[in-house]
Chain A
Amino acid sequence: MRVITVAGPPSVGKTSLIVKTAKTLREAGQKLAVVKFDCLSTDDDLLYRRAGVPVAAGLAGSVCPDHYFVSNIDDCLQWAEGLGADLLIAESAGLCNRCSPHVQGALAVCVVDNLSGVHTPKKIGPMLKMADVVAITKGDIVSQAEREVFAHNVWRANPQAQIVAFNGLTGQGSGELAFHMRGAPDLDTLEGRRLRFPMPSAICSYCIGETCIGENHQRGNVRKMRFPEAAA
């Protein structure tokens, strides 16, 4: 089983990218299963079902979505194994830019879009920096110059990544992405494998349900801001 994590900020076109690539993979005789991780709600499982891709949706609810992901990913692999899939894609929205779902030994794909501005690649953090493949979407509506600057900034943030230009409407780029996915390592289990980047050093009172603002309510691992000195 080849396992692929696909992560990226909301609305960059992760689902379109996976649906279009699934078609290319299917034509090459590969069977794909998808797990969609989200926080509160998702309708994307319908999009996958409509495209004939077996899908399971996981909603983190009140739990940190990245913790939820890591607690469930090996079960996802066993589920996909049971379906007889060749590839499992775990799609998750990178919600705070702090964490990343990328796992050592699984192909890590980060999706970003050209509309988010040329400085975005350096703001995204480990989700992009730790990726093997960075897919850049929405290139069909920005200038060639912006595409080149954006790709260059992705390269600066992660010089080891393969950069793929992807058009989520036409599926242009799916051949290339499918090529990278089929080259992912073959795994039986994710047990014992490690995340490429550790989760934040929590726990504070707000992690366990505190909602009230104020010094008296801040316990555990609390970090305070430093402010610039007021001019004299």
Chain B
Amino acid sequence: MSAHPLSLRLDEAQRLNPAFAALIGPTPKPDLSLAEWLATLGSDDLDRLKFSRVELEAHLRALVMQADSLRAPVVGVHSLRILGGRDKNGRAEQLDLELRPGAIVSVVGPTGSGKSRLLGDIECLAQGDTPSGRRILIDGEIPEPARRWAASGKLVAQLSQNMNFVVDLTVGDFVEMHAECRAIDDPEQAAAQVIACANELAGEKFSATTSLTQLSGGQSRALMIADVALLSSSPIVLIDEIENAGINRRQALDLLVASDKIVLISTHDPILALYAHRRIVIAAGAVSEVIETTEAERAHLATLERYDRLMSELREQLRHGARLDALPSFGI
């Protein structure tokens, strides 16, 4: 096929890559080859498509060649290795950390200590060329420059408190559109699954016909997490401060881990910090320590979660006009 990409029939091409459907439009002769179709186009048609004939031919070839990569399975990452650079004072950073799919790592440190820098280094697969001087290896290797840049956009999905949905569509239409981009066979069903999952994470329910821009903060965050877990192709997820998101944080992390992602979460929230398998401590621009979460800390986590439930219970009560004459004990 790739030897003679333009010998492909129009109906085959349209099945191969949805972009052909938009370009060719409804055609009475689906058994024409791409080359024959190109020959039928007059200057008005080319004008409408905003291509010259030579450019359109190159465009058609590229669509055929790259259609395969559209359906290709997600790029797997078996390991992500972070090698130390230097701190804000130029001192060497002692770090050699390997992460594998299913790992949850929290990143803790004071504001301005360099948590976002670490996430940024991973995002661009730094090779000693960012202010921190860190290097990121994928599957134990330094990615070639061309591969590095081709991969950096696809390997990493990001979630942060500052992100919002801005597109003016309903939840259902948009999530289906995202599923179509991934060439998923039944986008409608995939969308229903993402929405059901998001509704489990968020307190307040929403439906497929809700407008994206009308979602509350908690609903948006829940939908973003469900979508990243179920539809995003990226094997690495970077999360920046979602503690005040109004969602079930623990369930959200479980969902990401279940989809075999490597999850790094920058946080000030003790529950998220302790729920991670390991936590990276950052001070003055460098990792000062990597701490394995101990059994004792896990036991404390259960207690902290009870405090957390108490706080959200009180929040709900006050929201509904309750008076707080005595504190409920909740077994603490």
Contacts and interface: CB of A to CB of B under 8 A. Distances in A.
Interface centre among B50, B164, B165 (most CB of A within 10 A): B50
Interface stretch (A8-16, A71-79, A82-90, A162-170): A162-170
A159 B62 contact: yes
B231 A145 contact: yes
Contacts of B150: 162
Given A148-B181, A159-B62, A170-B120, A117 B168 contact: yes
Contact of B19 (A144, A156, A173): A156
A180 B152 CA distance: 14
A144 B153 contact: no
Given A149-B178, A172-B124, A144 B163 contact: yes
Nearest to A172: B120
A197 B52 CA distance: 8
A148 B178 contact: yes
The B contact surface, by secondary structure, is helix
Contacts of B62: 159-160
Interface in A136-177: 140-146, 148-149, 151-152, 155-156, 158-160, 162-165, 170, 172-173, 175-176
Contacts of B66: 155, 159
Nearest to A165: B153
Contacts of B153: 151, 163-165
Interface string B164-175: 111110000011
B174 A145 contact: yes
A182 B286 CA distance: 31
A126 interface: yes
A144 B227 contact: yes
Nearest to B163: A143
A202 to B, nearest CB: 14
A147 to B, nearest CB: 8
A136 B88 CA distance: 30
Contact of B149 (A117, A151, A176): A176
B1 interface: no
Interface string B132-164: 000000000000010001101100011110111
Interface residues of B, number: 48
A129 interface: yes
Interface residues of A, number: 39
Interface string B31-75: 000000000000000000011100100110011011000000000
Given A142-B163, A144-B227, A148-B178, A176 B157 contact: no
B149 A164 contact: yes
Interface centre among B158, B159, B220, B234 (most CB of A within 10 A): B158
A141 B145 contact: no
B228 interface: yes
21 contacts: A117-B166, A118-B167, A140-B163, A141-B163, A142-B163, A142-B164, A143-B163, A144-B163, A144-B228, A145-B165, A145-B224, A146-B166, A148-B232, A149-B178, A152-B181, A156-B18, A159-B59, A160-B62, A162-B150, A164-B153, A175-B129
Interface of A: 114-115, 117-118, 122, 125-126, 129-130, 140-146, 148-149, 151-152, 155-156, 158-160, 162-165, 170, 172-173, 175-176, 179-180, 196-198
Given A144-B224, A162-B150, A176-B152, 18 more contacts: A129-B51, A140-B162, A143-B220, A144-B159, A145-B178, A145-B227, A146-B167, A148-B178, A149-B178, A156-B19, A159-B62, A165-B152, A165-B153, A175-B124, A175-B130, A179-B149, A196-B55, A197-B50
Sort A-B residue pairs by CB-CB distance and give the 9 closest, nearest first: A152-B181, A159-B62, A156-B19, A145-B227, A176-B149, A144-B157, A160-B62, A145-B178, A159-B66
